[in-house]
Amino acid sequence: MRIPLAAPEVTDADIEEVVRVLRSGRLSLGPRLAAFEGACAAYLGVEDAVAVNSGTSGLHLCLLALGIGEGDEVVTPSFSFAASATCLLQVGAVPVFTDIDPDTLCLDPERIEEAITPRTRAILVVHVFGRPAPMAAIGRIAARHGLRVIEDACEAFGATTGGRRVGTIGDAGVFAFYPNKQITTAEGGLIVARDPAIAARVRRLRNQGRDPSAGWFDHVELGYSYRLSELHCALGLSQLQRIEGILERRESIAREYDRQLSRVPGLVLPAHAAPEDRPSWLTYVLRLGDAFSREDRDNVLAEMGSRGIECGRYFAPIHLQPLFRGRPRNGDLRLPVSERVADRALALPFFHGITAAQVEEVCDNLASLVAARAARRGR
């Protein structure tokens, strides 16, 4: 594709930091890991942070550390990447999917309470596309019912709501640093927890169940090989130094898309954030209006691709995936907002290095294709 959907920004300084680790001979569980965890904790305003090899691993470990297990119900959105639900299956828990707010695309608080039963143990919140979920309202619901709150902030590193970083508000939060994220470690994730005991257990679980005070061959519980290498941490440390500039650049790209596409009939642009929120733009996802169909969206996506412009469809609702059909609390579940949004959503190319000319080309092509689809169907 001439214009990719996403592309990591890796500078000469990033490369030099990784090469320095290679030359050191210390490739795992070394000083870069401690430095990266400390730098992330400082940026997020928390006491401790635990680096792991992916956001998915982080979600898995949070559930284990919080004691979520067999038969426990966890309320979570279906409009999300599958890992926010497959992590529940990994511990034997039951995902209870609820619908989203049509503007924020995050969990709708009004739908959460309807899904709670005596078996509900937690709410797994997803900050979709870097947009802060309504944490104050969700926190009140959790407090009323004695539920844990886990934040999937894998798409939202750097976002804030009410002056606090998302991912640091619930009982535990998870971030991810895949190459399409705001900063990348190539592969990697990060866990923060309100209770130091939870953070300590996560640190033990990520390293084969070893207690840091015990020997290398002493395992105190069942653990996993979820460590993050020194190479990944060195890259993350280098990228973290320019996080604010990255967030500002991504914000400016989103605003330029807004400016150019606001005059295109038939498009629903991302809603403006609440005054107390600062999104951390992962990607720019708009959708075709309700007068269009999934077929229209798919046609536009394919035509953009044929012109060398890579777009994506975000997300396929999890409750409709083959893995989840027929599972407890799913059955014939219908989530009209999630399904309607998913049928019409279109992610546009979005990355630090996209140029003004490329944004204009994306917008011009999208506008012409939407107009052609509307004309063809007599809209």
CB 123 within 8 A of CB 147: yes
Q: Is 28 helix (H, G, I), strand (E, B) or coil?
A: coil
β-sheet bridge partners, residue 120: 73
Average the pLDDT over 140-155 and give the result. 98
CA distances from 365 to 2, 287, 353, 356, 359 (A): 13, 15, 20, 14, 10
pLDDT at 378 over 80: no
What was the pLDDT predicted at 332?
86
In sequence order, what are the residues at sequence separation of 6 or more whose Cβ sits closer than 8 angstroms to the Cβ of residue 16? none
Cβ neighbours, 10 Å, residue 328: 11
89-114: buried (b, 16+ CB within 10 Å) or exposed (e) per residue? eebebbbbbbbbbeebbbbbbebbee
Average the pLDDT over 32-43 and give the result. 98
Cβ neighbours, 10 Å, residue 305: 14
What was the pLDDT predicted at 32?
98
Average the pLDDT over 53-70 and give the result. 98
| Pair of tokens at residue 14 | 């990033």
Sequence-ordered alpha helix ranges (H) in the chain:
12-24, 31-44, 55-65, 83-90, 109-115, 135-145, 196-205, 230-240, 243-261, 294-306, 336-344, 356-376
State the first-to-last Cα distance of the chain, in angstroms, to the nearest integer: 31
Q: Is 301 helix (H, G, I), strand (E, B) or coil?
A: helix
CB 128 within 8 A of CB 77: yes
Average the pLDDT over 214-233 and give the result. 93
Average the pLDDT over 245-272 and give the result. 97
CB-count exposure of residue 30 (10 Å: 0-12, 13-18, 19+): middle
Every domain of the chain with CATH number 3.90.1150.10 lies at 244-376
Average the pLDDT over 31-54 and give the result. 98
pLDDT at 215 over 90: no
CB 345 within 8 A of CB 1: no
Every domain of the chain with CATH number 3.40.640.10 lies at 12-240
Average the pLDDT over 176-199 and give the result. 97
pLDDT at 377 over 80: no
How far apart are the C-alpha atoms of 171 and 22, rounded to whole Å? 36
Cβ neighbours, 10 Å, residue 336: 9
Average the pLDDT over 241-247 and give the result. 97
Nearest CA to 250 out of 3, 8, 2 is that of: 8
pLDDT at 40 over 70: yes
In sequence order, what are the residues at sequence separation of 6 or more whose Cβ sits closer than 8 angstroms to the Cβ of residue 346? 285, 286, 287, 288, 297, 300, 301, 311, 312, 313, 366
What was the pLDDT predicted at 212?
81
CATH number of 244-376: 3.90.1150.10
| Pair of tokens at residue 360 | 């204009």
How far apart are the C-alpha atoms of 18 and 21, rounded to whole Å? 5
Hey, what amino acid is at 122? A
CB 83 within 8 A of CB 56: yes
Average the pLDDT over 262-290 and give the result. 96
| Pair of tokens at residue 258 | 């807004």
Nearest CA to 3 out of 307, 242, 352, 254 is that of: 307
Q: Is 34 helix (H, G, I), strand (E, B) or coil?
A: helix
Least confident window among 79-88, 214-223, 224-233, 249-258:
214-223
What was the pLDDT predicted at 19?
98
Hey, what amino acid is at 120? T
- The region that residue 262 occupies, defined by phi over 0 for left and psi between -120 and 50 for alpha, beta otherwise, is alpha
What was the pLDDT predicted at 379?
54
CB 3 within 8 A of CB 304: no
Average the pLDDT over 128-138 and give the result. 98
Catalytic amino acids? Answer: 181
CATH number of 12-240: 3.40.640.10
What was the pLDDT predicted at 67?
97
| Structure confidence at residue 302 as a pLDDT band (50, 70, 90) | very high
Cβ neighbours, 10 Å, residue 54: 20
Three-state helix/strand/coil letters over 352-363: CCCCHHHHHHHH
